[in-house]
Amino acid sequence: MEPISAFDMLKIGVGPSSSHTLGPWRAAERFVNEIKAAGLLDQTATLAVHLYGSLALTGKGHGTDIAVQLGLCGQDPEFIPIEDVSAIPERIKNEQSLLFAGVRAIPFNPGQDILFHNSESLPFHANGLIFQAYDGKSQLIHEAVFYSVGGGFVVKEGEELGQNSVRLPHPIVTGDELMQYCLHENTSIWELVLENEKAWRSPAEVKSGLLRIWSVMKDCIYRGCHQNGILPGGLDVVRRAPSMHKKLIGQRAYRNADEWIAAIRSAPYSFPEVSRWISCFAIAVNEENANFGRIVTAPTNGSAGVIPAVLAYYICFAKPEATDDDIVKFLLAAAEIGSIFKKGATISAAMGGCQAEIGVSSAMAAAALCEGLGGSVGQSLMAAEIAMEHHLGLTCDPIGGLVQIPCIERNSMGAIKAITAANLAVESDPSNAKVSLDSVIKTMWETSKDMNTKYKETSLGGLAVHISIVVPEC
């Protein structure tokens, strides 16, 4: 299988969805690069984008139309100023023109040139999209079919993976392989993952990159705790994190995110208060995600709040003396567990329901926390298994196709389950476990395949059809 880096599992991007926003955005960027490589930029006069399956059914609520426009303009989701995420599509709509590849203005009407094929799906994956470029005589000059397969990963139709893959010293596909490598090398999970990461970048680059990932997570939590208002999309969901935060932080003074973390660490809290903090962290991230804010896919946008919440719990309450190295170790371990789920099952809600998002993120966080608490490799894998075991069958049924209800609260629940799973595992003997991580991954994949399509991010079942809320243009 294609090797997966920690930086593939933890990507900096823009909300609200990794598979419906970040993936299509990256696909549009790839299409632009193909046009440029083929020397067709000057010949391109008009464009058409076709969305299929889950991308069509919930694309408006997930900002798929916004994402493809930004990608066609050559914008990068990791670095685009957040205010431009809404400003550029608004300008395109008003001017009926798009700055293709950031250099060539061509006519573009989002209402006509982005087509939502609600009753059709492409064969490979539920998240399919086609880009077409036409010349001045309306002749098709280039077409590309892409699939957004979850977590911001994009696959082009007919693309062969692994042709230019790096060679890892410890190629891992299953939990059992991870265990055997760790036992053979006498290492923890994070140490083994770091050895693999050296195939892509130096240890110093790994550390700085992961600390940047944490910085984005931390800033996202901080912003979410201080931004009042109503989330966009028509559901009129009121942000809850700021009011929760205000009650918890009290009168403690701080001027930035780092001082804020120090202020939280400095005060004693009861168990109920710690529990509320965990929920506050998770909800803050996903309210930012729903507001098209900058987040980290972990491993997806819809589940972006779980790992930051558990990591914030770890450094604020479980191990307040935690250092930057502890944060790096946490993220390395979490990413590896996520990659095993991706290889053995899916991290796409359009393929596996919400068990593939919240369930996987909870398992990632549980394993990382368990190792951070001093758990063995076996206990950490056990923690991941426990977390996923209690998310099996979780459906994806977003009301109005928006990543808000029940998605935001589910991140809080996933974080709490991760912490519970880690605490259970660290007090257990993994040799007595009846269920392995690999068996729960296999079960998750079988459950995904058996699950009715209407419960896989289509908004055609569950809460999405039983809650009588009308969402404009969704």
Report whether pLDDT(471) > 80: no
**Is 169 a member of any domain?**
no
Does residue 224 share a domain with residue 113?
Answer: no
Does residue 430 share a domain with residue 301?
Answer: yes
**Is 472 a member of any domain?**
no
pLDDT at position 473: 45
The per-residue pLDDT of the chain, averaged, comes to 95
- Quickly list DSSP for 120-178: ---SS-SEEEEEEEE-TTS-EEEEEEEEEEETTEEEETTPPTTTTPPPPSS---SHHHH
**Is 317 a member of any domain?**
yes
> Tokens representing 250?
């009290």
| Beta strands in 27-139, from DSSP E residues, in sequence order | 46-53, 97-100, 104-107, 114-117, 127-134
pTM of the model: 0.92
**Is 388 a member of any domain?**
yes
Does residue 201 share a domain with residue 147?
Answer: no
Does residue 220 share a domain with residue 120?
Answer: no
User: Terminal CA-to-CA distance of the chain, rounded, Å?
Assistant: 37
**Is 130 a member of any domain?**
yes
Q: What is the pLDDT of residues 364-401, one digit of tens each?
A: 999 999 999 999 999 999 999 999 999 999 999 999 88
Q: How far apart are CA 198 and CA 213, in angstroms?
A: 18
Q: What is the pLDDT of residues 431-468, one digit of tens each?
A: 999 999 999 999 999 999 999 999 998 889 999 999 86
Q: How far apart are CA 166 and CA 2, in angstroms?
A: 9
Does residue 278 share a domain with residue 133?
Answer: no
Does residue 388 share a domain with residue 288?
Answer: yes
**Is 122 a member of any domain?**
yes
**Is 417 a member of any domain?**
yes
Helix (H) or strand (E) holding 294: strand 294-297
Does residue 242 share a domain with residue 186?
Answer: yes
b/e map 349-358, b = 16+ CB within 10 Å: bbbbbbbbbb
Least confident among 30-34, 239-243, 315-319, 399-403: 399-403
Q: What is the number of helices (H) and of strands (E) in the chain?
A: 20, 9
Q: What is the pLDDT of residues 101-118, one digit of tens each?
A: 999 999 999 999 999 999
Overall number of domains in the chain: 2
Q: What is the pLDDT of residues 169-205, one digit of tens each?
A: 999 999 999 999 999 999 999 999 999 999 999 999 9
- Quickly list DSSP for 11-31: EEEESS-IIIIIHHHHHHHHH
**Is 281 a member of any domain?**
yes
Pairing type for strands 11-14 and 294-297 reads: antiparallel
CATH, residue 43: 3.30.1330.90
Does residue 127 share a domain with residue 193?
Answer: no
| Cis amide bond preceding 406, omega within 30 | yes
Q: Is residue 15 a contact partner of residue 290, using CB atoms and an 8 Å limit?
A: yes
Residue 99 belongs to domain spanning? 18-156
Q: How far apart are CA 457 and CA 453, in angstroms?
A: 8
Does residue 183 share a domain with residue 143?
Answer: no
Q: How far apart are CA 415 and CA 331, in angstroms?
A: 15
Does residue 247 share a domain with residue 101?
Answer: no
Does residue 240 share a domain with residue 344?
Answer: yes
> Tokens representing 389?
């075991």
pLDDT band at 150; cut points 50, 70, 90 = confident
